[in-house]
């Protein structure tokens, strides 16, 4: 995508998320699996294309993003975002920041770190699916148990979908077979720069 | 195609790190065998062991053995893949460091925290110890697994991405063009690469599933309001456990593919059947795990039927990729030289194949209903672990220190080898006999009428330990010798 | 080096954030957070008047100086409130056994006061053997309801089947109007202990 279009697109997404907040947050699937990722994309679109030395290897920004994601995966935080205006505001500020950090970190991350994060993402989506589909208690006071259950399945589909998106391109990597001893080239070209 | 003669002298990348790893593994194997010996002796009333201690030892033995089997497999994988693709050295050290961190956490959990919920950490046992151990001990145990899981994940990511890049995708590395009749045997990746790619895939999937269930169990420990579904957790745990222990064998078999050609002088090539069988193994290893859950009547019937059918079927590619292809290969080869290394490696394949027979029997639903909680089960897996995976690992160790001229097996070596085989066969046979007589597994104290069986087994266990101790000692001396050179 | 420092800083800050956000690793859900907060520091609730199932008036906090054990229900609830009703009945027996019957009162408060008329409350009470003395069913005035729900941290949402889904618990309110503890309706030991403590 053309670079100069990014801020505009980000603004549109942000605007839509804010305007549609009532509707989106009424349904946990839309709230957690649509609105939050969209806000993240917003930040990623705005991420500066610079390489900082504090972000070398991507560790610091990615770690910060992971902590942020962990925070927003607490049922308590999601409940709070629905109940308390302060938390709603925090959501609109912090989630784009998380997306931005992810984008900054991803760009500088080594292929191994990226692979690790992908595996971890699939695993954690599976874990959330497990929790939400099988918890006998309601985890959010603002959502029905059926909604929680649907959210669990949403996470399951997310886990399966991401696993497919990330592995299928690896099945047939159309490159003539090299003789076994030739140097392998790093496979970073297989992975696009899309944050997990 | 790789030239086997030059490979003979080419050390893998990081030969030192691998040698060190195998030394660690050898020592841990011995220690864990001693734990096993103590347990069997206690069941045989030969010594007085506090049942609480028995369960700690059982947990340590299970987790320790499975972990060490994985460690030896991983070292073999790393060593030989280094011949084909340039692997990042730091990854192996990170792997080893994380693995050892995991070991420390696990040992601490068991012997300091008193955790004794078995290596399978089945929900809700870690959280419901009845006061025997605290949540912190269980958490340390689970975190130990997490560290080991991360270690393996890193290793596989590195091996996987390099193989994918070098052989044209996963399909290329699994020799799919050959399977589909498009490629030639000459272009196909070597057997070791096919095996490495397949294990990399299924064990990565296993690790990802394992991480999810570990995280759930950890959350449940500290936040009991987050319930875990016991059946789903059991499915995930057995998927992970089954895949992991299988992966350790499938990685170890790489040593057979790579080393045996040195003894025959004939290269071992990937054939169409061989490649196809490995792709089937890749699927079957993951589909067969429900045979561990045949007694869970609440499981959907189709999954159990799948477990049963796949467990019949998986015998076929298993035998095709290992036993059969080894026999075909050995027959084609002109000569085979026998020394301790080659004997142990071939023993490994034989033990693995033999061990799959009682496994398939246990995989039948009708048999399983009566047998699954008996010692039949430790019986079958000890065959393919003691006489299979561990034999291959010892074979690899003997080869690592071997001199190029390969001294023929004889005299003392022959005696040690025989002791190990005889002890292993006798020990596992006793498990099978006890199992057939309905002696339960995982019981600290045995009824008087079972005691004799346990005593005989203890004797055989001693033989195994003696044999293994000699292997480790030889390895140590061999390392010193090669260091002096 | 800078990257390492930054990472360490992130880990420390991130750990602190999560620690804060979970009350020191103790509460992952809003419900457990609400209970924990009350347990740490009892919170004042604004007093409100009630009409009971016999048409009499009552109030929280209790005007006679009793500790009130309060749950929130709606009488047409097909599921949770029914089992909670059974729990309240048993709780009443436990209170009697503990010899606290004259110092404690049990109150099931409707959060659907427009619909839950005196008759409906009465029939709910009869179904669950509420004696009207130790345990009664009551409704507040609709206009004070939002304040009550927010004081008690109760959230009731339409369940798309004409009813509500809501958090169910027994709230222990002291005679001087402070919310002192929140327990599962079946946690009789916990509730009695909290009531004893509130009486002191
Ligand atoms: C001298 C060698 C060995 C001895 C004496 C031994 C002994 C034992 C005994 C007594 C048990 C408990 C049986 C029961 O449930 O009643 C056991 C379980 C087990 N052993 Fe071994 N063993 C040996 C070698 C190995 C090896 C080489 C491996 C794997 C590489 C292994 C893996 C296991 C596992 C996974 C269990 C199951 C633990 C559980 O039930 O939680 N063992 N062993």
What pLDDT is recorded for position B361? 74
What pLDDT is recorded for position C23? 81
pLDDT: which is higher, C191 or B6 = C191
Instruction: Answer whether residue A176 shows pLDDT above 70.
Output: no
Instruction: Answer whether residue B272 shows pLDDT above 90.
Output: no
Tokens for C18, please give them.
Answer: 């999560």
Q: What architecture is the C42-199 domain classified under in CATH? A: 3-Layer(aba) Sandwich (3.40)
Query: How many whole angstroms separate alpha carbon A190 and alpha carbon A169?
Result: 7
What pLDDT is recorded for position B182? 79
In sequence order, the 6+-apart residues with CB closer than 8 A to the CB of A145 are A138, C165
pLDDT tens per residue, range C30-66: 888 888 888 888 888 888 888 889 888 888 888 888 8
What spacing in Å lies between the alpha carbon of B36 and ligand 1's midpoint? 6
Peptide bond into B124 cis (omega under 30): yes
Q: Categorize the per-residue pLDDT at A195 as very low, low, confident or very high, splitting at 50, 70 and 90.
A: very low
Question: CB–CB of B222 and C29 under 8 A?
Answer: no
- Per DSSP, C185 falls in state T
CB pairs B-C closer than 8 Å: 8
Question: CB–CB of C14 and A64 under 8 A?
Answer: yes
Q: Which of A48-57, B206-215, C122-131 is least confident?
A: A48-57
Decide if A186 is inside a domain: no
Query: How many whole angstroms separate alpha carbon B267 and alpha carbon B258?
Result: 9
Instruction: Answer whether residue A37 shows pLDDT above 90.
Output: yes
Q: Whose CA is nearest to atom 34 of ligand 1?
A: B62
Please count the other Cβ atoms lying within 10 Å of the Cβ belonging to residue A150: 18
What pLDDT is recorded for position C166? 85
Instruction: Answer whether residue B203 shows pLDDT above 70.
Output: yes
Average of pLDDT values for B470-478?
91
What pLDDT is recorded for position B9? 37
Tokens for B211, please give them.
Answer: 């991480």
A171 touches chain B (CB under 8 A): yes
Q: Which of A136-140, B288-292, C140-144 is least confident?
A: B288-292
Decide if B156 is inside a domain: yes
Do residues B190 and A91 touch, judged by C-beta distance below 8 A? Answer: no
What pLDDT is recorded for position C79? 74
Which of B:28-87 have CB within 8 Å of A?
84-86
CA distances from B453 to B62, B350, B365, B367, B442 (A): 21, 25, 27, 22, 15
Decide if B158 is inside a domain: yes
What pLDDT is recorded for position B13? 66
Rounded to the nearest angstrom, the gap between the alpha carbon of residue A62 and the centroid of all alpha carbons in its chain is: 11
Query: How many whole angstroms separate alpha carbon C71 and alpha carbon C50?
Result: 13
Question: What residue numbers bound the domain in which A154 lies?
Answer: 3-171
Backbone phi, then psi, for C105, in 5-degree steps? -130, 145
3-state secondary structure chain B: CCCHHHHHHCCCCCHHHHHHHHHHHHHHHHHHHHHHHHHHHHHCCCCCCCHHHHHHHHHHHHHHHHHHHHHHHHHHHHHHHCCCCCCCHHHHHHHHHHHHHHHHHHHHHHHHCCCCCCCCCCCCCCCCCCCCCCHHHHHHHHHHHHHHHHHHHHHHHHHHHHHHHHHCHHHHHCCHHHHCCCCCCCCCCCHHHHHHHHHHHHHHHHHHHHHHHHHHHHHHHHCCCCCCCHHHHHHHHHHHHHHHHHHHHHHHHHHHHHHHHHHHCCCCCCCHHHHHHHHHHHHHHHHCHHHHCCCCCCCCHHHHHHHHHHHHHCHHHHHHHHHHHHHHHHHHCCCCCCCHHHHHHHHHHHHHHHHHHHHHHHCCHHHHHHHCCECHHHHHHHHHHHHHHHHHHHHHHHHHHCCCCCCCCCHHHHHHHHHHHHHHHHHHHHHHHHHHCCCECCCCCCCHHHHHHHHHHHHHHHHHHHHHHHHHHHHHHHHHHHHHC
pLDDT tens per residue, range B433-469: 988 888 888 888 888 888 888 999 999 999 999 999 9
pLDDT tens per residue, range B308-332: 666 666 666 666 677 777 887 887 7
Question: CB–CB of C7 and A55 under 8 A?
Answer: no
What pLDDT is recorded for position B136? 87
Question: CB–CB of C32 and B225 under 8 A?
Answer: yes
pTM, two decimals, is: 0.82
Decide if B19 is inside a domain: yes
What pLDDT is recorded for position B333? 73
pLDDT: which is higher, C28 or B300 = C28
Burial class from Cβ neighbours inside 10 Å (0-12, 13-18, 19+) for residue B244 reads: buried
What pLDDT is recorded for position B244? 92
Backbone phi, then psi, for A53, in 5-degree steps? -80, -25
**Based on the structure, what is the number of domains in chain A?**
1
Query: How many whole angstroms separate alpha carbon B93 and alpha carbon C86?
Result: 61
Average of pLDDT values for B145-150?
93
pLDDT tens per residue, range C74-117: 888 877 777 888 888 999 999 899 888 889 999 999 998 888 98
Do residues B199 and C4 touch, judged by C-beta distance below 8 A? Answer: no
| Whole-number percent of chain A with pLDDT over 90 | 43
pLDDT: which is higher, C69 or C165 = C69
In sequence order, the 6+-apart residues with CB closer than 8 A to the CB of C103 are C66, C67, C199
Q: Is the dihedral of CA B72, B74, B77, B80 positive or negative?
A: negative
Question: Which of C2, C4, C7 to substitute to test the interface with A, most A CBs within 10 Å?
Answer: C7
Average of pLDDT values for B181-210?
88
What pLDDT is recorded for position A177? 47
Decide if B2 is inside a domain: no
Q: Whose CA is nearest to atom 2 of ligand 1?
A: B33
Helix (H, G, I), strand (E, B) or coil at A181: coil
Contacts of C15 in chain A (CB under 8 A): 67
Instruction: Answer whether residue B7 shows pLDDT above 60.
Output: no
| Closest chain C residue to B220, measured at CA | C28
Angle between helices B191-222 and B51-81 (to 10 degrees): 140
Contacts of A77 in chain C (CB under 8 A): 21
Q: Which residue has the tokens 């457990």?
A: C32
Contacts of B2 in chain A (CB under 8 A): 180-181
Question: CB–CB of A126 and B208 under 8 A?
Answer: yes
pLDDT tens per residue, range B380-435: 889 989 999 999 999 999 999 875 445 666 678 888 999 999 999 999 999 989 88
**Nearest CB to C157: which of A56, A75, A144?**
A144
pLDDT tens per residue, range B100-122: 999 999 999 999 988 988 888 88
What pLDDT is recorded for position B303? 64
CA angle B346, B349, B351 (to 5 degrees): 105
Peptide bond into C149 cis (omega under 30): no
ipTM of predicted complex: 0.76
What pLDDT is recorded for position B31? 95
Instruction: Answer whether residue C200 shows pLDDT above 70.
Output: yes
Which residues lie with the beta carbon below 6 Å from any ligand 1 atom?
B 33, 36-37, 39-40, 58, 61-62, 65-66, 69, 118-119, 375, 378, 382, 385-386, 389-390, 441-442, 461, 464-465
Do residues B307 and B290 touch, judged by C-beta distance below 8 A? Answer: yes
Question: What residue numbers bound the domain in which B210 lies?
Answer: 15-481
Q: E strand or H helix at C7, and its extent? A: helix C2-21
**Based on the structure, what is the number of domains in chain B?**
1
Helix (H, G, I), strand (E, B) or coil at A38: helix
pLDDT: which is higher, B431 or B266 = B431
Rounded to the nearest angstrom, the gap between the alpha carbon of residue A136 and the centroid of all alpha carbons in its chain is: 27
| Closest chain C residue to B219, measured at CA | C28
Supply the mean pLDDT for chain B.
84
- Per DSSP, A177 falls in state P
Instruction: Answer whether residue B302 shows pLDDT above 80.
Output: no
pLDDT: which is higher, C6 or A191 = C6
Closest CA to B346 of B267, B284, B253: B253
Question: CB–CB of C17 and A71 under 8 A?
Answer: yes
């Amino acid at each position: 995508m053309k670079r100069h279009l990014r801020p505009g697109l980000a603004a549109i997404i942000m605007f839509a998320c804010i305007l549609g907040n009532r509707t989106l947050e009424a349904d946990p699937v839309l709230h957690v699996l649509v609105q939050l990722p969209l806000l993240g994309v917003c930040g990623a679109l705005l991420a500066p294309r610079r390489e900082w030395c504090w972000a070398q290897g991507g560790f610091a920004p990615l770690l910060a993003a992971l902590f942020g994601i962990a925070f927003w995966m607490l049922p308590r935080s999601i409940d709070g975002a629905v109940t308390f205006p302060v938390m709603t505001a925090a959501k609109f500020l912090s989630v784009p920041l998380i997306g931005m950090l992810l984008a900054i970190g991803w760009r500088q991350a080594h292929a191994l770190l990226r692979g690790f994060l992908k595996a971890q993402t699939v695993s954690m989506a599976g874990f959330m699916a497990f929790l939400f589909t099988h918890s006998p208690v309601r985890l959010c006071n603002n959502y029905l148990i059926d909604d929680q259950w649907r959210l669990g399945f949403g996470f399951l589909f997310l886990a399966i979908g991401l696993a497919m998106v990330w592995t299928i391109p690896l099945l047939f990597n159309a490159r003539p077979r090299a003789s076994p001893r030739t140097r392998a080239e790093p496979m970073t070209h297989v992975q696009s720069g899309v944050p997990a | 195609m790789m030239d086997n003669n030059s490979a003979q002298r080419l050390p893998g990348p990081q030969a030192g790190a691998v040698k060190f790893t195998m030394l660690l593994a050898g020592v841990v194997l011995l220690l864990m065998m001693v734990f096993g010996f103590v347990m069997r002796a206690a069941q045989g009333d030969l010594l007085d062991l506090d049942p609480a201690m028995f369960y700690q030892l059982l947990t340590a033995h299970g987790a320790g053995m499975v972990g060490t089997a994985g460690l030896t497999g991983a070292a073999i994988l790393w060593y030989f893949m280094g011949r084909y693709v340039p692997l990042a050295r730091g990854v192996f050290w990170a792997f080893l460091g994380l693995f050892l961190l995991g070991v420390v956490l696990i040992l601490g959990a068991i012997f300091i925290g008193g955790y004794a919920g078995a290596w399978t950490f089945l929900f809700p046992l870690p959280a419901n110890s009845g006061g025997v151990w605290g949540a912190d001990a269980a958490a340390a145990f689970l975190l130990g697994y997490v560290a080991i899981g991360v270690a393996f994940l890193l290793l596989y990511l590195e091996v996987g991405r390099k193989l994918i890049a070098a052989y044209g995708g996963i399909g290329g590395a699994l020799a799919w063009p050959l399977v589909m009749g498009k490629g030639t045997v000459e272009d196909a990746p070597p057997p070791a690469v096919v095996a490495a790619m397949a294990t990399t895939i299924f064990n990565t999937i296993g690790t990802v599933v394992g991480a999810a269930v570990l995280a759930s169990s950890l959350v449940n420990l500290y936040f009991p309001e987050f319930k875990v579904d016991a059946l789903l957790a059991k499915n995930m745990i057995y998927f992970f456990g089954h895949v992991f222990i299988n992966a350790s064998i499938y990685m170890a078999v790489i040593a057979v593919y790579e080393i045996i050609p040195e003894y025959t002088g004939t290269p071992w090539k990937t054939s169409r059947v061989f490649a196809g069988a490995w792709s089937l193994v890749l699927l079957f290893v993951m589909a067969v795990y429900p045979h561990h859950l045949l007694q869970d009547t609440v499981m959907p019937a189709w999954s159990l039927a799948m477990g049963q059918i796949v467990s019949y079927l998986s015998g076929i590619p298993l035998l095709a990729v290992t036993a059969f292809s080894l026999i075909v290969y050995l027959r084609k080869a002109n000569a085979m030289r026998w020394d301790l290394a080659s004997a142990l490696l071939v023993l490994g394949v034989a033990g693995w194949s033999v061990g799959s027979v009682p496994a398939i029997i246990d995989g039948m639903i009708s048999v399983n209903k009566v047998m699954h909680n008996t010692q039949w089960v430790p019986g079958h897996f000890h065959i393919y672990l003691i006489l299979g995976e561990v034999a291959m690992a010892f074979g690899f160790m003997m080869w690592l220190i071997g001199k190029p001229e390969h001294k023929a097996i004889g005299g003392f070596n022959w005696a040690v080898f025989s002791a190990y085989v005889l002890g292993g066969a006798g020990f596992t046979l006793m498990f099978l006999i006890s199992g057939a007589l309905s002696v339960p597994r995982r019981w600290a104290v045995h009824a008087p009428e079972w005691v004799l069986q346990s005593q005989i087994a203890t004797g055989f266990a001693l033989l195994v330990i003696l044999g293994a101790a000699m292997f480790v000692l030889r390895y140590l001396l061999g390392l010193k010798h090669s260091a002096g050179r | 080096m800078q990257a390492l420092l930054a990472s360490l800083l992130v880990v420390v800050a991130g750990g602190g954030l999560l620690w804060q956000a979970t009350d020191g690793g103790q509460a992952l859900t809003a419900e457990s957070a609400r209970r924990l907060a009350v347990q740490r520091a009892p919170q004042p609730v604004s007093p409100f008047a009630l009409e009971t199932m016999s048409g009499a008036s009552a109030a929280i906090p209790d005007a006679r100086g009793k500790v009130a054990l309060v749950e929130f229900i709606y009488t047409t609830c097909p599921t949770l409130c029914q089992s909670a009703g059974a729990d309240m009945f048993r709780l009443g027996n436990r209170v009697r056994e503990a010899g606290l019957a004259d110092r404690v009162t049990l109150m099931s408060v409707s959060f659907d006061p427009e619909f839950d008329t005196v008759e409906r409350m009465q029939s709910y009470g009869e179904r669950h053997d509420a004696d009207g003395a130790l345990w009664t069913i009551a409704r507040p005035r609709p206009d004070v309801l939002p304040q009550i729900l927010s004081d008690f941290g109760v959230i009731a949402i339409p369940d798309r089947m004409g009813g509500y889904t809501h958090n169910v618990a027994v709230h222990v309110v002291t005679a001087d109007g402070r919310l002192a503890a929140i327990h599962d309706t079946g946690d009789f030991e916990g509730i009695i202990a909290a009531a004893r403590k509130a009486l002191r």
